[in-house]
Every structure is written in C-alpha cells, then in structure tokens.
Structure 1
C-alpha cells in the first residue's frame, strides 16, 4: 500500500478527528502489547499487510534532551513488525533476529509520532518488515517529516509451545474484525 489515505481493504479510513475509537484503540493496545500501551502508543490498523499507530511524545518516552528516545522508536518498530509477522505466518511463533534503524529527525515532547509497518518479504522461514515513523503534521493531522525508518528481520513459522497456544488470540480478534481506528497513515 502506498502512503495515501486508503485502508488495505480499499475504503477510506476514519478521520483522526473522530474520537469514537480512541478509548477502544487504547484498550486494544493494552491487550495486544502492554509495553507499547505503557508509553502511550495507540495501535490503529491491524492486518497481515500493515499495522499503524500513533504515539504522543511525552517525557516518559524521551531522552534527557526532551526528544523521543531512539530506543523507543526501535521498540515500536520491533513490536509492530512482530505482530505483523505473527499474523502473516498464520499465527505461528516468530522471533526477531535483526533490527536496523536509521534516525533522520527528532520528535520533541508534545509532538505526535505516526507509525506504519508493512512487509517487504514474507517467506516460509523469514520475513522482513519495513517500519516508518513520521511526525504528525498538526495542521492536517497527516504525515509530516519522516523521523526514522527501520528494517526488522524475523524467523517465522516456528512451533508454538502448548502452554502458549493462545498467545495470538487477541491479535486474531482484532485482525479478523478488520479493525481500523483513528490512524491516518
């Protein structure tokens, strides 16, 4: 999918000014990734072909110079790529083996960062995902300057241990619903 305003199903995405889903996206994020939720990240679209989300930049996710910590960008990248790879592999277990991230610009406290993860390669044993982060343009609520880009390589189709066979249930619930919230990526 290009960087336009269409969802993966071809329909228009809801406007970010719609508040109907902000609470549900927060609870969805809490269920899918408690660590992302703890820093205020909100997952938007959830599908095997794309995941999106947004992060209001607060002091909690900044380094001492009050800009977004590079490790937070890396954590967002790995989390979104891992969820996508898990779905794309039919909910088999995946494991990240490589993360490369380039930081282009900073995002300061008060900015909102938009994120989009999409597969570059989905193979039988490995997947490669590209994750881009942008500052949100306050005037349009759309993408502003890109702040980082990463490549995440994951082993996929690993066996799921019996004690973890329900680990993907929440992801299945939201992906099957074709869930799209307030993301404008």
Structure 2
C-alpha cells in the first residue's frame, strides 16, 4: 500500500473511512473481517477458504497463529494508548479442526495490561452456520507483547484510521 515517491496515499472520503481502512494487510487479504476493536476485546471472523487451508482442506495452523498474533497486537496497541509494540512470545494449541467452508471467529481478551508487558488470550472457534454461535474450539493462544515503545509520527495516520474504523463497528 505504499505511496511511492509521491508520499502516502490520500485518506478516503469521510463516509468511506471505516469501509476502506485496512487494520492488517495479511489477515484481511485472507478474508478476515474485524467485528470489534476495543482495549478490552478484539474479535473478527474468517471464512475458511482454499487460500487458508493446508492440503487436507483444514484451516492451516499458521493462519490460526496469524489471527492470534494480529488480534492480540491490535488489542495491545489500543490498550496501551496507541503505543508501538513488539511481540515477545506466541504460544498456540490447535485442539480441533476447522474445515474448508467453515467460518471461524477469533476473540482476543487481555489477561494482563501492564505498562511494559501485556498478555492476551485468543480463542478461535468454529461457528455454527445455523445460529452464528461459537460451536467448537479450534485453537487457543497466549500472546505476550512489549507495549511501551515510542511511536513514530508516521503511525499517527494509522492510529486515527483505527479509531474511526473501530467506532463504526
């Protein structure tokens, strides 16, 4: 999404900001849709397509790890007052399958919101298509993040975009 030599792309029109803002390029390229972004919870859903499956038509564990890392990182970013962060550790357990055609939901919640270190738990559930309720646990993860790094001025646009995006959810 670089702007090349001419600088960053111009911001979208006021009404389009929440629709076009990209929270995370990689995760959203797979089809992930954020449904909540707050300091206390980050959640979203992903349709399990061929793009995110391993050869046996099951959700790739790396995609589950990506969902865990991103949702926890976004939560940490918001909870820290929009400070730059760095992942310290990711531990994930895959406990059940999600198959091609399923929809999964990832929900990240804080365990510890320290000034320097934050720890987030992420659960990924297979969604029951008839009720849209969480049905079977697919993965559970714990993500530890360093949350007190100085934030470069260039991140101000991202911060403002995320604030507008999350207020529309």
User: 1:128 Cα shift?
Assistant: 0.3
Q: 2:88 aligns with which of 97, 103, 120?
A: 97
> Which runs of no fewer than 5 residues in structure 2 stay unpaired?
1-15
Asked if residue 74 in structure 1 is aligned to residue 65 in structure 2, the reply is yes
Question: TM-score scaled by structure 1?
Answer: 0.78
- Which residue of 1 is the match for residue 121 of structure 2? 130
Q: Deviations over 1:125-178 (max 9, x none)?
A: 000000000000122111001000000000002101233343322212223x2x
Structure scoring higher RCO (CA < 8 A, sep ≥ 6) equals 1
Asked if residue 64 in structure 1 is aligned to residue 55 in structure 2, the reply is yes
Please identify, of 153-162 and 52-61, the stretch whose mean Cα deviation from structure 2 is larger. 153-162
Q: Deviations over 1:50-73 (max 9, x none)?
A: 011100000000111110000000
| Distance in 2 separating the partners of 1:107 and 1:101 | 15
- Which residue of 2 is the match for residue 160 of structure 1? 151
- Which residue of 1 is the match for residue 3 of structure 2? none
Asked if residue 50 in structure 1 is aligned to residue 41 in structure 2, the reply is yes
Conserved in 1, the CA contact under 8 Å of 2:19 and 2:165? no
**Number of residue pairs the alignment of both structures matches:** 153
Cα root mean square deviation, aligned: 1.6
- Which residue of 2 is the match for residue 144 of structure 1? 135
Q: Deviations over 1:29-62 (max 9, x none)?
A: x511121111011100111100111000000001
1 or 2, which has the higher helix percentage?
2
Runs of 4+ in 1 over 6 A off after TM superposition: none
| Distance in 2 separating the partners of 1:170 and 1:79 | 16
Question: TM-score scaled by structure 2?
Answer: 0.85
> Which runs of no fewer than 5 residues in structure 1 stay unpaired?
1-23, 181-185
| Distance in 1 separating the partners of 2:65 and 2:19 | 22
What are the residue-to-residue correspondences of 1:110-129 with 2, within 5 Å? Answer: 110-129=101-120
